[in-house]
Structure 1
């Protein structure tokens, strides 16, 4: 389980996170929704060690993550698919996937996981030797998720996986998120598409200007009038 308590992060004199607390239970899909600038991406970047916290605690299976190096955090079973995909454009699909396993040295296991990723994303197998920069936006998102899976994470964090994608592709991506979770990976999802995110989430939190203002099951927040008006429109 991931447990965040009273986490505070400041950039210069601006408080990006104002003492947030949340839990991501093992085997669940948890989503964090909110407007641009609410602090969603900062939360993920702090968990992975890319951003330093001012105070608070981030515990992963009882072990404190704050102060640990990024490679130690990844090695503990946490992976992130970043906002904007950030694939290595001048490298092939397969090379991108293998980079996701850079902390591993089990060659047979790596090849087995390449086949697993291809089973989740058949289009990546079709384009295995194609340069990542020539893929469509949806294919690059699939590659970013696949690359993160190559570290064999216990917790997969996804930052805006649907951003800029066509509705049909978004549905595909969310189906894959469900499938990844069914195969035993815990998911922490940051998403502006609140409707899709809440439909697949076991637990959900609303983040507004660095503070968590609401929490509940995905279904509870989907039905909440304030959430519907703020993030889903009056008709949801």
Structure 2
């Protein structure tokens, strides 16, 4: 798990990077929760998602948004963080020009940033959005959503009510050409306290299912 520093739009960004042994393996970019509420790349769910992809042969990067940890800059309410994510993906791709596709996984605020990034990057073929904050941010840019993916939410989430996530899922499921899987964890709160293992099992099973169809990773 090499520590890396790479250039972002507002200075250097700090990350953790694990290249795949396969030159053609897809890339996974992992995006952390809200910086103003303690979100970092070392969040437990971000950490576990990172290794979930590593175990499946992906080239994986997680990093701190601007102003977090050793990343330079200051919080920019989403616009700058989206630019950070784009710069992070660019950085990985320079070392893996033969990579076949990309996945984005984000938790809460990171899910919102990730969904915006996939709208701008046609190479993204899959996503995982954990507790997408559909009541706090505008997701109307997903018109249409260009890739299939998984949305996971807890039914005891007091930060993002179930009805808001369900409305987003229903809107995306109505679109043609993509498939949105939706999993609700009974009793799970916004941070999936005591349910991280269940969350990661769901995410891992979803990626395995997609990889079986896509046939992208050389293990």
TM-score by length of 1: 0.30
Select the structure with the greater relative contact order (CA < 8 A; seq sep ≥ 6). 1
Q: Name the larger-Rg structure.
A: 1
TM-score by length of 2: 0.32
